Amino acid sequence: MSAGLPLSYSLVLSAVLFTIGVAGVLVRRNALVIFMSIELMLNAANLAFVAFARQMRSVDGQILVFFVMTVAAAEVAVGLAIIVNLFRLRETVFVDEVNLLKG
């Protein structure tokens, strides 16, 4: 760990990763893949946090990353439970085949 990386490199990387996540959410119809794209977005945010923590020489950003990861884990668990339930009910995980809440 020597003279470092320009902050902007990390940020640009984070932005691109986030965009790929967004595209994934909008493009795919498999609920599990959509979920994975959401994880990508979360990780992009984490990367930004870490980059800034390094920039500002404080460890607070990394603490936040810690918390984000914990919550992401909980979220994944609950989300997968829901998807499993949905599969049991509708025999499908494709989100464009489920529109019971249509107005």
Contacts with other proteins by CB under 8 A: the residue count is 81
Other C-beta atoms lying within 10 Å of the C-beta of residue 10: 18
Smallest separation, CB 44 to other proteins (Å) = 9
Other C-beta atoms lying within 10 Å of the C-beta of residue 49: 20
Smallest separation, CB 76 to other proteins (Å) = 5
63 binds other proteins (CB under 8 A): yes
Within 8 A by CB and 6+ apart from 92, the residues are 86, 98
Contact string 17-46 vs other proteins (x = CB under 8 A): xxxxxxxxxxxxxx-xx-xxx-xx--x--x
